[in-house]
Chain A
Amino acid sequence: MRATHESGDPGFGTPLYVAVGLLAGAIIALQITVMRIFAAGNWAHFGSFIVSVAMLGVGISSTVMCVRQPWFERHWRGVAGAALIAFGPVAAGANLGAQQVPFNAMFLIADPQQKWRLAANFGLYLLPFVTGSLFLGSVFLKARERFARVYFADLVGCGVCGLGLLGGMFLYTPEQLIQIPLFMWVAAGACWALAMRSTRLALAVAAAGALAFAIHLPLADAFDLPRLAVSDYKGVSYARRFPDSKQVYERATPFGYLEVYSSSYLHFAPGLSDNAALDLPEMPSNAYLGLYVDGDGPNGIIRELPAAQTKYFDYLPMALPFLLKDQPDVFVVQFGGGLSAAAALRKGARSVTVADSNPAVLSAFRHDAGLRGFTGDILHKPRLKTVAQDGRIHLSHGAGRYDVVDLSLADSAGLSSPGGFAIAEKYNYTREAMQVYMRGLKEGGILSVTLWNKEEPPKSVLRLYATLVEAARAMGEPDVRRCFFVTSSYLSTATVLYQRGGFGDEAIAKLQARTAALSFDEIYAPGAKYEVDPLETILAAYRAQLFGAVPKTLPHPPLPNAADTEDQASPVEDAAPAEEEAVPEDGAGADGPTPKTMPSIALARHAWQALMDGSWPALAAGYPFDLHPLSNEKPYFAAYLRPRDLPAVLDRLDLLQDEWGYLLLWATLFIACASGLLLIALPAIFGWRSLFARCPGKAGTLLYFACLGMGYIMVEVALISHFTLALSNATVSAAVLITGMLVFSGIGSLVAERHLDRARTRLPFVFATIAILLVAYGVGIDRALDWVGTLPYAWRLPCCFALIFPPAFLMGMPMPTGMTWLARLGKAPLFLWAWGVNGCMSVVGAAAVPILATSFGVGAALVAAGALYLLAVPGLFALLRPLPGGAAAVA
């Protein structure tokens, strides 16, 4: 890059472009840092707000600069310098300040203070983004006629610094991670001082750097201020409070901040049969360590139990396949804390192959002496083989056939915390994944899938059931009805067993007997009939409770059952109420019998019946929640409420407490639209007839940059979700996408500079190509990524970058072309507004993707983005309209 003064102003040369790249990189690194802080300290989902906060910073800066453009143009150097110097101390101060007013979403309704805490967090974190945007905006404004070059610096800086932060996550814990954006900022300041050839600026940057690090390090220590306030309600907070709690392992990684605690107070046994208490002579004590990732958990790490306690495993749902399989070869799709692997080893498996997509977890079990000792060095057992990749991907290689494939409570924290993981992709549970597991079975092999069953009314388990049956049908099973056996424990777990080729009568009898012995509920067995309430009665009751008056088909209030009043009478006098006393004065519910089985159990039995006899679509349509099977297109358990039903439940959102993560998506979209439109409107209101009066094609220009802002971010967010399929890890996927998209777009922006003069004729073809590519990606990229996922990891990364390149390269062209032409045509007032519109609509686009993805599939977001790029074409022609009196003609 030339070190000349291209804009006719001293300072425009390589150091300045590097400064722009580094500060843009520091901004994106700060965004990711704050996300990590939210994830480790509170609730990860609020981290996504930070994208909106950052783009709002762009919106506010551009609005202010647009309204006072001449002043900013005159003082650009001072504004940019001051904003740059302020960024570091403001970022460090805002972060420390926000940690002193921790927000807890759980009490948003109960505690009126929480909304102010949320506002304080929002306001504090907004400050550095406004400051950073002021710097970028000032430079963009000054360099507007060479916008492509400065935009290239901006995008490449973001991409490279994002990757740098990812590497930094190996070195810094979340509470110290902010030091990385601060380092980037100091480097940006140094380059700026060099560009301006100012010693005073260099000294100011050094002083500000010292101040920023002082705020984060000694000041926080001196006043005993937490740098990361971990919520009292995080799993790890409880572990830390146990009297004998001891942290036995800790490691910072991009895959999460791992901590392992030991305490005699940690107890696990997911899905343990209640009968264990009655049958076992002795329960294992101090049997578990607690594994926490980003403070969430615990996942239980089981100790190597003595041989005398082997029967303990018989009471866990993951032991069921071993009733039918002697010395099986077992594949465990997700190692987690090792419970399934330990159960398989103890139940006599000939070989156990365990996979895990989180390399940090496997590394801990392989290399840490404490964990190796506790688990009996489980990963080095002779019968156990470890696969350091996603189990779904490993099996799809066609590597081996197994007697038992186990998927037990993988990602268990997510599914046991309803509401909080509305947009988490569960690719391990999709129809395609189930087919992979089924293909990985030997003839007669058993797939065992256990899921938390803590929802009432049931939702996740019904989706799982539908997914498994769909997968079995796709496998071409001659008689699907013989292939399944399903059992559940009320408000605990549900287990589906699938046998390739179907269960024999003897096997069914064994499973039924064991289910009864464990006091589990039998949900489906080939040929079995169950006496339950009519389906329509159950569905009508659920619908009425959610959408209308409470019907009398379900007891309301619950009547004490016979056990309360007679059989269960306590030996103590007057132990239980007489039934008459339990009936409320108005008699409501008095006519409703106590159900023979719980409605959710009855519904689950009906669901299996429907899945087998083909009436499932009718059942699903009549259920108040969306029960679509999981697929690679829609890999979500959550988002059960249908968008069309939202208006009907707005006055009763309290009935949907386990959907608040999904509802928050809608709230975010609403707020993003409202704030974005306001920020776009402000300059328009003040400037439509004054500032912009001489600029023709205003509406088209607005359309152009709105489409680009929304389209670009939608592609980025949707592809992050898609690429998890091949890369197995959301963090790696985000890093690859952010880096790939921004760097390739930066290259695209640089190339666009050469074609500026032929924008009118060439850019429409670019838009058309982008649209075609995005539609093609929307329709078929999951198949391509599935294939990429089968390659060794070293090959997957270049393949992913190759897939990202075509759209990202082309999508880098329209923005700088449009911006530069605004400057060339003398439409300076529109220049900053356009930048702001782009930023504001990015917020809307980012919020829209999860809604589109959960409603129509991830591919729909890409198709929608393609449509937006086509919609930008008429905007381009409006943008290129010259000012009255003429300016340069565009070919």
Chain B
Amino acid sequence: MAGAAAWNPLRASTFLPFTWDLALPADDRKAFVDWMVANRLEDAKFLGQRWDRLQVMVRNKDVWEDSVKRAFLMTPRDEFVPTRNRSHAYDNNFLDIGYGVTISGPHLVGHMTSSLGVARGAKVLEIGTGSGYQSAVLAHLTDQVFSIEIIKPLAERTRGIYDGLISRGYDEFKAVTTKNADGYYGWEEHAPFDRIIVTCGIDHVPPPLLQQLKPQGAMLVPVGPPGAQRVLRIVKEQTADGGARISRSDIYNGRIVPFVPFKKLEGDKISGTHNT
């Protein structure tokens, strides 16, 4: 199980479970790292990298809501990355997680999460659990996250990561309900959803998902290959006559977007000029 090696049973009693009003220091790197080490027993090295990455994401306008910033800081991305790539967990790169699936880069996850506009209590459906990281971030924004993965061994592996983290005290991940199924058909039992986030490509928007989206609900769908994806934003609008209309836009509003930087993060700064 991913992350098991980092677990220190001697410190288990000090783990501070997630609550909506946790006083997470968000103004100072050292205070954040110290607080997380003391209360969440996480690795100071990864925490530092997480903080640094968030600062770049904020400057790069990939995250603009305090709730999403907090969700990013609370989510141990390193736990969702395969061991062989863990040292790159906070690089702005998508990474291979096996089965032909990638974990999206933190900037894209941040931008998608911010664009999705999830409020506490909203019912969110994710199609394509993958690494589990996107749902993990969402679990810090709402307590109703439903996630479907089509690849059975991947679904089982990711469920194992969640269960392992829950057993270590990450109670917030109890909000993530997962199943192995074909996400094309959505999750009828839990429909309708306030937000739907699709994390796998397809040549059309699955009609069942549109049907399971609440009126005024929003859906994000990535289009294109990893590394050059646009993210389609679909809103199901209610028309005056009681019907529905689907509107499409792009979460970057047509901007040319650097998805995979050629420059590396140096400390908390990106070398170069175009990505800062």
Contacts and interface: CB of A to CB of B under 8 A. Distances in A.
| A, B from the same assembly | yes
Interface of A: 104, 106-107, 109-111, 231-234, 237-238, 241-243, 264-265, 267-272, 274-278, 280, 283, 416-419, 454, 456-457, 489-492, 519, 542, 545-546, 550, 554-558, 560-561, 563-564, 567-577, 581-585, 588-589, 594-595, 598-600, 651-655, 657-658
Interface in B56-113: 58, 61-62, 64-66, 85, 88, 91, 93-96, 98-101, 111
A560 B117 contact: yes
B244 to A, nearest CB: 5
A558 B252 CA distance: 6
A104 B184 CA distance: 28
B45 interface: no
B275 A654 contact: yes
Chain B: interface size category? 35 or more
Nearest to B61: A557
Interface in B181-218: 182, 184, 194-195, 202-211, 214, 216-218
Contacts of B251: 558
14 contacts: A107-B95, A109-B227, A110-B260, A267-B204, A272-B205, A275-B246, A276-B207, A491-B230, A491-B232, A555-B253, A557-B64, A570-B216, A573-B121, A654-B262
Nearest to A564: B117
A654 B258 contact: yes
Contacts of A582: 64-65
Given A110-B95, A519-B245, A598-B253, A583 B204 contact: no
Given A570-B122, A581-B65, A598 B230 contact: no
B254 A554 contact: yes
A558 B115 contact: yes
A266 B249 CA distance: 26
Contacts of B262: 109, 651-654
B222 to A, nearest CB: 10
Contacts of B274: 651-652, 654-655
A545 B207 contact: no
Given A557-B61, A570-B217, A654-B258, 9 more contacts: A109-B262, A110-B91, A232-B96, A265-B182, A277-B207, A561-B249, A575-B117, A598-B253, A657-B227
Nearest to B200: A238
A283 B208 contact: yes
A577 B65 contact: yes
Contacts of B253: 554-556, 558, 594-595, 598-599
* 8 cross-chain pairs, A with B, having the tightest CB-CB distances, nearest first: A277-B207, A232-B100, A657-B228, A557-B61, A277-B210, A599-B254, A110-B93, A274-B246
B256 interface: yes
Given A106-B225, A274-B205, A654 B210 contact: no
A272 B246 CA distance: 13
Nearest to A232: B100
A241 B256 contact: no
B132 interface: no
Given A456-B250, A570-B122, A654 B100 contact: no
Interface of B: 58, 61-62, 64-66, 85, 88, 91, 93-96, 98-101, 111, 114-115, 117, 119-123, 150-152, 182, 184, 194-195, 202-211, 214, 216-218, 223-228, 230, 232, 234-235, 237, 243-262, 272-275
Contacts, number: 225
Contact of B261 (A104, A490, A556, A654): A654
Given A456-B254, A582-B65, A568 B235 contact: yes
A572 B117 CA distance: 11
A337 B262 CA distance: 39
Nearest to B203: A270
Given A232-B98, A265-B184, A573-B119, A519 B246 contact: yes
B64 A563 contact: no
B199 to A, nearest CB: 14
A277 B61 contact: no
A433 B172 CA distance: 59
Given A554-B255, A657-B259, A598 B119 contact: no
From A231, A275, A490, A545, name the one whose CB has the most chain B CB atoms within 10 angstroms. Answer: A490
Contacts of B123: 572
A574 B120 contact: yes
Contacts of A231: 100
B256 A545 contact: yes
B228 A658 contact: yes
Contacts of A241: 99-100, 151
Contacts of B195: 570
Contacts of B252: 456, 558
Contacts of A657: 227-228, 259-260
Contacts of A268: 203-204
Contacts of A237: 100
A421 B75 CA distance: 38
